[in-house]
C-alpha cells in the first residue's frame, strides 16, 4: 500500500504530506480544488509522463516522494523541472522513469474518470480481454506476435522486390562496380597521408640529395667524423690513466657509433632517391586515383573506404534477396497460414476469457444496483494485424428484455461509470494491492451511490483503495478521509475526522457545511454505513 506521500510545488499543491493508511481512503473537495492533482502525483511516481505545466509557481521544480509497502518497503521519487524533463529514483538510486512503472505494475492500478471512453473503443475492449488472459492465453498471444513478425518480414522483402527485379539488378550491378573500383585501388586507412609525405620528398629529391651529400661531406674523413674518432682515441688513452673517465669514454664511443650509423642511413636515402626516378610518377598517379575516388565517393579516404564497406554490405543484401526472390512468394503463403492459425488459437482463448469477463462484470453490476444487466463482448473477424484478427465491441443493456447496443449509445452516464468499474474489476484490478479511482462515480446518485460506496468498501478489505469522489455516500464508507480546499489559489490537503468530517459530508450532501440539518443528515449517513458493517 501507499504508506506516505509527499508533494511539493506540483500544480496548485504547494506542499502536502499525507499518510493514507489501509482500507478505503477518500479525497473530497470542491470542483477545481485540486483533488485530481493528488492522483496526478501518484501517477508520476508510477512512471507517467511529466509535463512542464505541472510545476507550480513556488519554484523551478516539482517533487513527489512516496513510500510503499509491497511486502518490502520501497521509496520512489520524481523530480520535474520547469522544462518538463524529470528524474526518477528508486530507494535513492537514479533510474529511468519507465523503471518506476516496471516496479509498481503488478501492485498498483489506477482507474481514471475517462477510462469508460477507452472501454467504449474496440481497441480498449480488446486490451481489457488480453490483459485478463490466463497462462494459455498469454502463450497464444506470444505465439501470434512471433508469427505476425515473421509474416511482416516476408512482406517487407516482397515490398522491396515490388520495385521491380530489373531495378534491383541494375542497383546490384552499380554496387558491384563501385565495390570493385574501390577495392581494386587497394587503398587502406592512412595511405593518403603517407602518399602526400612521399610525394613531397620525391618532388624535392634533388635538393634532398644535395643536402645529404653536404651533410655526409661534413661528417667525412676531413670533417667532423675524423675529429670525433680522434677524440675517442684520446679519451680511451686518458681512461687508461684515470678509470673514473670510463663513463665519458663510453658516451663518446656511442656518439661516434651514432654518427657512423647516420652516415649509412643518409647514404642509403640519397641512393634511393637517385636510383628510383620513376617512383614520383607512380606516387602522383596514386594521388590522382585517390582524387577520382574522392570525387565519387567521399571527401576523404576514410569516407571512400566507408562507402565501399556500405556498398559491399548492400551488395550482399541484394544478392541474397534476389537469390531468395523465387522462394518469397511461397514463404509468404506459409507465413500467412501460420499467422492465421495462430490467430484462430488466440481467438479461442480470447473468447473463453471474454465469457468469464461477461459473467464477472454482470455480478459486479448487480452489486452496484443493477437488477439483471446484460454485458456482451462481441467478436468479429478482421484482417490479420499486429493484435490478431479480432475486433471486440462492448454491448450492454441495463436489464433483461431491453435490446442490447453499443454501451456508449445505450448507457447513461451513471451506467457507464458502473460498467467501467465492473469491467475493470472483472479484468483483474482487484489483484493489485493498491487501487486508485479518479471520480469513476460520475453521474451516480441516490441508491446507486450507496451501492457504489458499499462496493468500494468491500473492495478495500485486504487492500488499500484510494478514491477521489464527489459522492457523500462513497465518502461515508471511508476509513480515512482527506479534504482538499483552495486557500489563496493554493490547494491545502487536510485529514478530517469527527466534527470536521461531518461538516464535509454536510457540504457534499447539500452544499452547506455549517448547516445543523445537513450535519444531522451526514451523521445519519455515517450511522447507516456503520450499521451495515
The per-residue pLDDT for range 45-69, each reduced to its tens digit, is 999 999 888 898 888 999 999 999 9
Q: Is residue 497 part of a domain?
A: no
- Kindly write down the DSSP assignment for every residue of 110-174, as one continuous string: EE-TTHHHHHTSHHHHHHHHHHT--HHHHHHHHHHHHHHHHHHHHHHHHHHHTT-HHHHHHHHHH
> Could you tell me which of 37, 31, 29, 30 has the C-alpha nearest to residue 55?
37
- Residues in the chain with pLDDT values less than 70: 113, 162-164, 205-206, 208-209, 212, 217-218, 220-225, 273-277, 326, 533
Which residue segment(s) compose the domain that 193 sits in? 170-312
Type and span of the H or E element at 60: none
Tell me the pTM. Answer: 0.65
Tally of domains within the chain:
1
Q: Residue 404: which H helix or E strand, with range? A: none
- For 332-385, give the secondary structure using H, E and C: HHHHHHHHHHHHHHHHHHHHHHHHHHHHHHHHHHHHCCCCECEEEEEEEEEEEE
The reply to whether 396 falls in a domain is no
Q: Is residue 401 part of a domain?
A: no
- Cα–Cα dist 119/509, whole Å: 31
Long-range contacts of the stretch 257-266 (C-beta < 8 A, 24+): 259/219, 259/224, 259/225, 259/228, 260/225, 262/219, 263/216, 263/219, 263/225, 266/212, 266/215, 266/216
* pLDDT of amino acid 205: 67
Element holding 54 (H helix, E strand): none
Query: What is the sign of the dihedral through the CA atoms of 227, 230, 236 and 242?
Result: negative
For the stretch 79-118, what's the b/e string if a residue is b when 16 or more beta carbons lie within 10 angstroms of its beta carbon? bbeeeeebebbbeeeebebebbeebbeebbbbbbbebbee
Q: For residue 523, is it within any domain? A: no
Task: Report the C-alpha gap between 348 and 342 in whole angstroms.
Answer: 10
Say how far apart CA 352 and CA 390 lie, in whole Å. Answer: 14
The answer as to whether 192 is a domain residue is yes
> CA 368, CA 361: separation in Å to the nearest integer?
10
C-alpha 127/C-alpha 118 separation (Å) is: 9
| Residue 369 domain flag | no
Residue 528 inside a domain? The answer is no
Do 108 and 101 form a contact (C-beta atoms < 8 A)?
Answer: no
| pLDDT number for residue 533 | 64
Count of CB atoms situated within 10 Å of the CB of 278: 8
Query: Is 215 contained in some domain?
Result: yes
Specify the pairing of strand 388-397 against strand 374-385. Answer: antiparallel
Cell of 442: 460520475
Q: Count the alpha carbons within 13 Å of 426 in the hemisphere toward its beta carbon.
A: 29
Task: Give the model's pLDDT for residue 375.
Answer: 95
Amino acid at each position: 500500500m501507499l504508506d506516505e506521500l509527499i508533494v511539493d510545488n506540483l500544480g496548485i499543491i504547494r506542499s502536502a504530506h499525507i499518510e493514507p493508511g489501509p482500507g478505503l481512503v477518500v479525497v473530497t473537495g470542491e470542483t477545481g480544488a485540486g483533488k485530481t492533482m493528488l492522483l496526478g502525483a501518484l501517477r508520476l511516481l508510477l512512471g507517467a509522463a511529466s509535463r512542464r505545466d505541472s510545476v507550480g509557481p513556488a519554484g523551478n521544480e516539482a517533487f513527489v516522494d512516496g513510500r510503499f509497502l509491497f511486502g518490502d518497503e520501497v521509496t520512489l521519487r520524481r523530480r520535474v523541472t520547469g522544462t518538463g524533463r524529470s528524474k526518477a529514483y528508486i530507494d535513492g538510486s537514479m533510474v529511468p522513469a519507465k523503471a518506476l512503472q516496471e516496479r509498481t505494475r503488478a501492485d498498483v492500478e489506477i482507474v481514471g474518470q475517462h477510462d469508460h471512453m477507452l472501454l467504449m473503443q474496440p481497441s480498449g475492449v480488446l486490451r481489457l480481454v488480453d490483459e485478463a488472459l490466463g497462462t494459455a492465453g498469454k502463450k497464444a498471444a506470444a505465439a501470434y506476435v512471433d508469427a505476425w513478425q515473421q509474416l511482416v518480414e516476408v512482406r517487407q522483402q516482397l515490398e522491396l522486390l515490388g520495385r521491380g527485379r530489373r531495378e534491383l539488378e541494375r542497383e546490384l550491378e552499380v554496387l558491384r562496380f563501385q565495390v570493385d573500383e574501390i577495392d581494386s585501388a587497394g587503398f587502406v586507412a592512412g595511405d593518403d597521408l603517407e602518399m602526400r609525405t612521399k610525394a613531397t620528398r620525391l618532388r624535392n629529391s634533388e635538393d634532398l640529395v644535395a643536402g645529404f651529400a653536404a651533410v655526409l661531406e661534413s661528417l667525412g674523413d676531413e670533417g667532423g667524423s675524423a675529429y670525433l674518432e680522434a677524440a675517442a682515441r684520446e679519451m680511451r688513452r686518458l681512461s687508461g690513466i684515470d678509470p673514473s673517465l670510463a663513463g665519458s669514454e663510453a658516451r663518446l664511443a656511442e656518439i661516434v657509433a651514432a654518427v657512423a650509423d647516420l652516415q649509412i642511413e643518409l647514404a642509403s636515402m640519397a641512393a634511393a632517391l637517385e636510383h628510383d626516378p620513376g617512383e614520383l610518377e607512380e606516387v602522383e598517379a596514386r594521388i590522382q586515383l585517390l582524387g577520382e575516388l574522392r570525387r565519387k565517393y567521399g571527401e576523404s579516404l576514410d569516407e571512400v573506404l566507408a562507402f565501399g564497406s556500405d556498398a559491399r554490405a548492400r551488395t550482399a543484401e541484394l544478392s541474397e534477396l534476389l537469390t531468395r526472390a523465387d522462394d518469397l512468394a511461397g514463404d509468404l503463403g506459409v507465413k500467412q497460414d501460420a499467422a492465421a492459425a495462430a490467430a484462430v488459437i488466440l481467438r479461442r482463448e480470447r473468447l473463453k476469457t471474454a465469457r468469464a469477463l461477461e459473467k464477472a462484470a454482470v455480478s459486479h453490476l448487480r452489486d452496484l444496483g443493477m437488477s439483471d444487466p446484460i454485458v456482451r463482448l462481441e467478436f468479429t473477424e478482421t484482417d490479420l494485424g499486429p493484435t490478431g484478427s479480432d475486433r471486440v465491441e462492448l454491448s450492454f443493456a441495463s436489464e433483461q428484455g431491453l435490446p442490447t447496443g453499443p454501451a456508449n449509445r445505450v448507457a447513461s452516464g451513471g451506467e457507464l461509470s458502473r460498467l467501467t468499474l465492473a469491467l475493470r474489476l472483472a479484468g483483474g484490478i482487484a489483484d493489485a494491492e493498491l487501487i486508485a479511482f479518479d471520480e469513476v462515480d460520475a453521474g451516480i446518485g441516490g441508491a446507486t451511490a450507496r451501492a457504489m460506496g458499499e462496493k468500494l468498501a468491500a473492495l478495500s478489505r485486504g487492500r488499500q483503495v484510494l478514491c477521489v469522489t464527489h459522492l457523500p455516500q462513497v465518502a461515508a464508507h471511508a476509513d480515512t478521509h482527506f479534504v482538499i480546499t483552495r486557500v489563496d489559489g493554493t490547494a491545502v490537503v487536510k485529514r478530517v475526522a469527527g466534527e470536521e468530517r461531518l461538516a464535509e459530508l454536510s457540504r457534499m450532501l447539500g452544499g452547506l457545511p455549517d448547516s445543523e440539518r445537513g450535519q444531522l443528515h451526514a451523521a445519519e449517513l455515517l450511522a447507516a454505513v456503520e450499521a451495515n458493517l
